Amino acid sequence: MERAALKYDFYFLNFSGTKLLFSIFERNQIEALFVGGCVRDAILGEKTEDFDIAINAGISDVINILKNEGIECILTGIKYSSITVIINGLKFQLTSLRKDEKCFGRHCEHSRTSSLKEDVKRRDFTINAIYVSKSGELFDYFNGIKDLYNKKVRFIGDLEKRITEDYLRIFRYYRFCAKYGDLENQYSDAIKNFSKQIKLISIERIQKELFKVLESKHTIPILSNMNNSLVFSNIFNNVNIDTLTKAPQDISLDLKLYLSFSYDDLTTTFRLTKLQKQKIKEYKHYEKERALFCYYKKGKEFLEEIEIIKRSVLNEQIDLSITNKKLPEFPIKYKDLPIEIKNAAMKIKACEKWWVNNNFKPNKNNCLSYIKSINSLG
C-alpha cells in the first residue's frame, strides 16, 4: 500500500484520544485503522465529527480491555460488532473486521475476520473503503482515492448483490453523487429493477438520505436522476422537479420540500418535525393569499418565500417593495364589538383580512360596520 502524501492532513491521528486508544491496542496486539468518512473527507481537505476505526479483534475482548483502562463503552451497535467510546469529548466508533455471510435487506449475518481484504469487500462504495493506519499508511484496494478525485461514486463488487444486501444503498448512492457531483447516473438501469423493493426501506431512513440530497448544490440533477431511475415511484405520489428548477437553489430545506413533493406526501408520508409540518401548512395556507396580507401576518422573510412559491408554482409575480411599507395597527379590538356579535373571533379575523387587503385604509368605524354586515349573514 502507498504512504500518505504530505498533502493529506489526517488530523485525527494527532488527537489525544486517538493516541490513547492506539497505545492500548498496541499493548494488546490489536491492529486498528481509521476508515470511511473521516479518511475520505480528510483526503479532500474536509473535516468531520464521525471517526470510525476498524479493529482486528473481537468486540467483547475490546470492551473488556477498554473497561480495564477506565474507558466507558457505549454498546448501542454491539449486535453489529460495533461500539462507541468517548474520549475528551470525541466519539470513536470501533468495529471488528467482518465479512458478510447472509444478507436480507438491512439484516445481515456476519462473522469476524482478521483479513482487511475481507472487511473491505463488504463496504458499499470505493470512496468509503479507504483505510489509514496510525503511521499514515493508506490501504486503498479499490482505487477509492482515484474515484474521489474523478468525482465517481462506484459500488464495490457485484452491484446487484451490494444493493440486495441493503436497499438503502440506493439512497446512499445518490446522496454521495449529490455530495461529489457525480451526475452520470451510471447504475440507473440496475436501480430500476429494485424500484418495488425500495418501499421496504423505512421512510425515516429514506428521509435522512434524501434531505442530504436536498441540501446539496446538485439537488436538481440528482433528484431528476432518482426520478428517472424510478426511485420515487413506489414511495411518493409526485415529485415536482420542474417546479424546483424555477426557484433559487439557496432556499431553505423546508421550501425545497414544499416545491419538490406533494402536500399529501409531506403531511402523510414524510416524518417531519412539528416545526417543519407547521411551516409546510403555512406555505399551503398563504400561497394564494395576497402579498400584503402575507407580509402583514408573517413578515418579510416569509413573504420572500411565498414570492418564490407564487412564481414557481402559480406563475404569479408579486412586488416585494411592499416590505418597505410601514405596518399600521389593526384599529379594533374585542372590547370594541357590540355584545350581539356572534363568533367574534372568526369575524374579527375576517375583518382584519378585509382591512389589510384594502391597504389598511378602513378606519375603526368602517371595520365595525363590516363586522356588523357579515354578522347579519350568520
- The confidence band for 111, taking pLDDT boundaries of 50, 70 and 90, is very low
pLDDT at 106: 47
- The confidence band for 6, taking pLDDT boundaries of 50, 70 and 90, is low
pLDDT at 107: 47
CATH architecture of 1-155: 2-Layer Sandwich (3.30)
pLDDT at 340: 87
Percent of the chain whose predicted confidence (pLDDT) is above 70: 93
Tell me the pLDDT tens digit for each residue of 153-190: 999 999 999 999 999 999 999 999 999 999 999 999 99
Q: Flag whether pLDDT at 109 surpasses 50.
A: no
Angle, CA of 220, 225 and 231, to the nearest 5°: 115
Domain boundaries, the chain: 1-155, 167-235, 238-327, 334-375
As a whole number of angstroms, the distance between CA 182 and CA 174 comes to: 9
- Identify any residues that bridge with 94 across adjacent strands, giving them in sequence order: 53, 83
Average pLDDT over residues 94-103: 71
CA–CA distance from 234 to each of 199, 238, 289 (Å)?
6, 10, 33
- Which 8-state DSSP code applies to residue 101? E
User: CA nearest 162: which of 200, 216, 105?
Assistant: 105
Tell me the pLDDT tens digit for each residue of 258-306: 999 999 999 999 999 999 999 999 999 999 999 999 999 999 999 999 9
- The confidence band for 101, taking pLDDT boundaries of 50, 70 and 90, is very low
pLDDT at 363: 97
Tell me the pLDDT tens digit for each residue of 230-240: 999 999 998 99
> How high does pLDDT run on average in the chain?
91
In this prediction the pTM is: 0.87
Q: Flag whether pLDDT at 241 surpasses 60.
A: yes
Which is more confident, 107 or 31? Answer: 31
As a whole number of angstroms, the distance between CA 114 and CA 98 comes to: 8
Give the up-direction half-sphere exposure of residue 207: CA atoms within 13 A in the CB hemisphere. 15
- The confidence band for 329, taking pLDDT boundaries of 50, 70 and 90, is very high
pLDDT at 377: 66
